[in-house]
Structure 1
Amino acid sequence: MEKGYIQVYTGNGKGKTTAALGLAIRAICAGKKVFFGQFIKGMDYSELKSVEYIPNFKIEQFGRDCFIYNEPTEEDIKLAKEGLEKCRKILKEGKYDIVVLDELNIAVYFKLFTSEEVIEILKEKASHVEVIITGRYAEDNIVELADLVTEMKEIKHYYNEGVEARKGIES
């Protein structure tokens, strides 16, 4: 790819991370290298095992537990900022063709870092790197900078009927 674009997957509907994972698989099958950075997440999601099966794919979490029902701690903020700095370096180096910043919008929403900090690193990225940003509540300035924005809209979800996250489907 000569030019890498910035894509944002946002909204209240299910499927943002799943879409990013699907794009990652497609890119790897086309011979590309993918870095998948997960902000906020620190739990044992099934996709963490993918590196055992898929070449040219690296996934790393920059969080502890999912704190979204509480306030983020200083440790949560520290981990997120360290993750953002790592992603800055990865984006600038250009060794990966695709860089996914999973739940980055949520990290901004919870003020773990600012959208201005995000925009600064996006402007520094190697020109060929495609960036996928996921998470609800994408801020207007990130949407404005993006080349593609998809909003996932929840119409109906079995979670509202008491169905917990299922291994291999939601986790």
Structure 2
Amino acid sequence: MTTDKEQKHVERQKKLKASVDERIAAAQTEQGVFQVITGNGKGKSTSGFGTVARCVGHGMSAAVVQFIKGGWECGERNLLQQVGVPFTYMETGFTWETQNRESDTKAAQETWQVAKQYLADESIDLVLLDELTYMVTYDYVELEDVLTALKNRPKMQSVIITGRAAHRELTELADTVSEVRNVKHAFDAGVKAQKGFDY
């Protein structure tokens, strides 16, 4: 015998299913998605790499450009390059290590030129531009150039941009914006970055 509580649960789930089905039926536009993953919390790049893995897992193609952490060993790069994902990264790595605006700007511009090639390539289904927000904030890469490349990319190509303090025009252009909020971070408590977890 069905209890009142069970019956109410069934009715709630029916309403939920009807609502979800209606939204799925209404979402019929086919195009690549531009996503920005920003905020001060940990996990922005990790989320982007997860989507790259998902893409490749479906037999699709992806490319990755890293603008800040290029000098570090990268577990995701170690894995994804084995399955043919091209990686380009700034040779200078962390900008606060070099403390040289001229060399950082030059490195950022060289890396961005490769990114633009990926953004014009119809054979690439997904492009991850990891930590690009910093390049825009520091004026190493022109915002207008980024916006133009994003607007002119192939219709079915998806793009993910990660990094803190994403420029307002990037978030306005994006189809999906996720903000990662910092609640606690092990590093703030003096825990050293762990290979296989943090990088």
Q: TM-score under structure 1 normalisation? A: 0.92
Distance 1:41 1:5 in 2: 24
Counterpart in the other structure of 2:68? 40
What are the residue-to-residue correspondences of 1:128-147 with 2, within 5 Å? 128-147=156-175
How far off its partner does 1:56 sit? 3.9
| Greater RCO structure (CA 8 Å; 6+ sep) | 1
Structure with greater helix percent = 2
Distance 2:81 2:144 in 1: 35
Distance 1:82 1:69 in 2: 19
What are the residue-to-residue correspondences of 1:115-154 with 2, within 5 Å? 115-154=143-182
Distance 1:156 1:51 in 2: 29
Counterpart in the other structure of 2:115? 87
Rg larger in 1 or in 2?
A: 2
Distance 1:109 1:19 in 2: 21
How far off its partner does 1:46 sit? 2.1
Q: Can you give the 5+ residue segments of structure 1 that lack an aligned partner in the other structure?
A: none
The runs of at least 4 aligned residues of structure 1 exceeding 6 Å deviation read: none
Distance 2:141 2:62 in 1: 24
Counterpart in the other structure of 2:78? 49
What are the residue-to-residue correspondences of 1:98-117 with 2, within 5 Å? 98-117=126-145
Q: Can you give the 5+ residue segments of structure 2 that lack an aligned partner in the other structure?
A: 1-28
What are the residue-to-residue correspondences of 1:70-85 with 2, within 5 Å? 71-85=99-113
Q: How many residues align?
A: 170
Q: Map Cα deviations across residues 82-121 of structure 1 (whole Å, 9 max, x no partner).
A: 1111111211122210000000001112221122221011
